[in-house]
Structure 1
Amino acid sequence: MSRTDYGDVERGDVVVPGRPVKVHRYSGGARVNHWLTAICLVLLALSGLAMFHPSLFFLSALFGGGQWTRTIHPWIGVVLFFSFFGLFVRFWSANLWRRDDSRWIAQANDVVAGREERLPEVGKYNAGQKLVFWSMSILIIILIASGLVIWNEYFGSFTSIQLQRWALLVHAIAAVVAICVWVVHVYAAIWVKGTIGAMTRGTVTGGWAWRHHRKWLRELVSMQKGKRTETTTHSS
């Protein structure tokens, strides 16, 4: 079977029989990549807010003062960009929008009420997770682009004051939206029990996968059965 036959299955996804059944959802590399990105986002939010308004300047003490905050902030942004790029390469294909995702969004009331049995079967990521993924992808591009324009130490001589002012406004708006998206992401991870454990341990139970991501589990089981059949055929 080709990779395209199982659009929601990523490398490393495996069902392990047992009591309970365990499903490998995230590899060790993916988890390290995710948490590095998360740490960068938190540090950027704190250092950015310290420079955003005088009432929040006390946050600069976390970074050694105002000068250090101003110096460190853009470098953390560079690390975030490359770290998120790693996540993008890993996860983009499973986050492609599908027809069932539009139906899932249209039944938002059932999502909030926890009536998952009424929803379309979900692949590895539901429509909400996909919206977060693509929103952050766009926002991080905007943040890195506008951030380079206002990074005077290295790029100040290549831009005008007027362009820097516009870039600063765009950067601030994108940062606020990114923080809001991040808060929604964290809230959803806490709300759906087992989600955080999946990104710390890398595995979920078969029951969890069946309840929350049934289409993904079906594809994964089908793929493994197909591989076993091919192995048996070749060995005969």
Structure 2
Amino acid sequence: MSEKNREGKRTARERLAAERKKQRTAEKRRRGLIVGGAVAGVLALAAAGGVLAASAGKDDGASAGPVVIPSGAQGKDALAIPVGEDGARSTLTVWEDFRCPVCKTFEDAYRSTLHELTDSGQLKIEYHFATIIDGNMRGSGSLRATNAAACAQDAGKFPEYHDVLYQNQPQEADDRFADNGRLLDLAEKVDGLRTDAFEKCVEDGTHDSWVAKSAAAFRESGHQGTPTVLLNGKQLFEDGTLTPDKFKRMVVEANKA
């Protein structure tokens, strides 16, 4: 190998190491904003960018193959999984990553409010998916968990399995969701989900290319990290004082307009 090539590789490694150090420092700072699980801390963290998008190489981890769209997926290129009534006057767009710890914090803080609003027909949620942590931490847990969630959508059990995944999210550096067996075990927490069809969908990675397409859409979207949450197209986390109760009032007011 020429000295020029060695120098080029060394420089690339140094840039990558510097970027990873920068991301780790930023993540520690963001987590420090969460004091005693305060919702305001969650919003401040997310406003600062949540989990930074991977900047070095692809983060989808999926091999090329036919794009199999989950049942009922909507939106551009059918990349959104909807929850709630199509006729709801307000729409919440959520970009998330099942390995993202800040996404879990958001879900834990807002889960009951989101269920209340979707169950009552006041809000529709469109879930979009990224695989940032697979890129930042290496692994395939984001990909595997999202494929399994898409399989749950095929079975009509997405909301329940979505919640189970976040309630059982491993530590960020633990790629436990890469184990399909673990994902199948978690499916047993949802009545009627673990069927032969669901198992085959998970094991075969039926929706892997769809997940990869969603991850690519996230990278091209201009969003800085997960969770990214928009109410009727407006970024929610610009308001660092937002709470579940305030969010509920915003939806009510938006539906009156």
TM-score (ref. length: structure 2)? 0.31
Flag the structure with higher helix content.
1
Q: Which has the larger radius of gyration?
A: 1
TM-score (ref. length: structure 1)? 0.32
Flag the structure with higher strand content.
2
